[in-house]
A and B are shown apart, each in its own frame.
Chain A
């Protein structure tokens, strides 16, 4: 079971309360987690990355285990703690002040 935490505006869009729990078959990567997320919540397509698995949107960040995974390959394995469900995969809206 993979735990995913979304920013508030995307939780509101998808009417999600709290974490999302996903089952991912095969390698646990950013791509496979986002594929599973979008399959369950189609309204999130295009809001985190481009349609059909396209590039990450510029002001979205991906964190886990106190690491910034934003610029990692989407096909790299996620940390073991994320794959095991002990740590969440965080989708974060970049900080924007002013």
Chain B
């Protein structure tokens, strides 16, 4: 029977959660890299035993770990992330120019077909690539070097490149998102980039429909239909049907359209999931009720999914990289909270169970569907 491997990054280490296809009984491994912040762990689609992890700490900076055996053992690989050329400046919180400074890797996106190739989205916002299994990293500088780059400003969480989507149909096309610059698209394997933010409205910036400056929290795509993109923005859930050329709001009847993660059902490209959060000032679910909202119409019409989730006194958050779906016949949906819970639904969100309840704050959740 096939199974799943859930990769959870937390404030104090990484955890590997495994189960068979029933997703009822779980084996918990960890903490790996105990005490370190693990922003992201992700497996290669081309080789599920190849995993990459972003490990960091305020004392000792960035480490990248690699596993070649599905997380049973790990080896530190290259951790030198040097911006290409003279880094230049972006805007600081006070509006003054601030030199680009590497802080940490937020997101690792392995190539779709080469286990040794992996992309890294970093803070201060930049995109790096390794073609040797993480031993060395080279910047793809045209993204950060876009003419708007000097005007980019960090969001409250830092100026992070947090989303990297690789188009499985139009090879070489990729999408990236930066808080708080917006969404960007490359059609040439990251060599050149352009902003794709037409249709976004953000009240927190001087020009609400500016080309850049939007605080995009997350992008999602179904692999069978990469022209359709979904976005959870600081406020607003958005949809594009033309590869990001334009966007329209699909927040519909959500109780709040503020939130962080967004994801797409593995087998139903029009079924999407978000976790509404009260507001930018109150990073917890409305009314203290932890509800995943599902739309089976690609947005606009949403239903709350509550079975098995706490419906009172719940004041956790679900961060942008902390939701994932598996590809089993009955699609599994997973998310982790800042309260240390990792929840699973083995029935597309109809019902939920905690896999674990008391981990450190969960920063990221990925899942691998194993043969």
Contact = CB atoms under 8 A, between A and B. Distances in A.
A32 B62 CA distance: 23
A46 B57 contact: no
Interface in A1-24: 7-10, 12-13
Contacts of B58: 59, 96
Interface string A75-98: 000000000000000000110100
A9 B80 CA distance: 19
B59 A46 contact: no
Contact of A43 (B35, B36, B63, B82): B63
Contacts, number: 42
B76 A13 contact: yes
Nearest to A47: B60
Contact of B62 (A9, A46, A59, A93): A46
A10 B61 CA distance: 11
Residue with the greatest number of chain A CB neighbours at <10 A, chosen from B34, B76, B82: B76
B148 interface: no
A12 B55 CA distance: 13
A9 B60 contact: yes
Interface residues of A, number: 18
Given A43-B63, A46-B62, A47-B63, A9 B57 contact: yes
Interface string B29-64: 000011110000000000000000000011111110
B279 interface: no
B interface, how many residues as a size bin?
A: 10 to 19
Given A9-B36, A12-B34, A51 B80 contact: yes
Contacts of B34: 12
Interface string A12-56: 110000000000000000000000000000010111100100000
Nearest to B58: A59
A60 B79 CA distance: 18
A43 B76 contact: yes
Interface in B65-82: 76, 79-80, 82
Nearest to A15: B76
B60 A60 contact: yes
A57 B61 contact: yes
Contacts of B61: 46-47, 57
Contacts of A93: 59-60
Nearest to A42: B76
Contacts of A9: 35-36, 57, 59-60
Contacts of A13: 33, 60, 63, 76
B268 to A, nearest CB: 43
Interface in B15-35: 33-35
A93 B63 CA distance: 16
A57 B60 contact: yes
Interface of A: 7-10, 12-13, 43, 45-48, 51, 57, 59-60, 93-94, 96
18 contacts: A9-B35, A9-B36, A9-B57, A9-B59, A9-B60, A10-B60, A13-B60, A13-B63, A43-B63, A43-B76, A45-B79, A47-B79, A51-B82, A57-B60, A60-B60, A93-B59, A93-B60, A96-B59
Interface of B: 33-36, 57-63, 76, 79-80, 82
- CB-based closest 8 A-B pairs: A43-B76, A47-B60, A93-B59, A59-B59, A51-B80, A46-B79, A9-B35, A46-B61
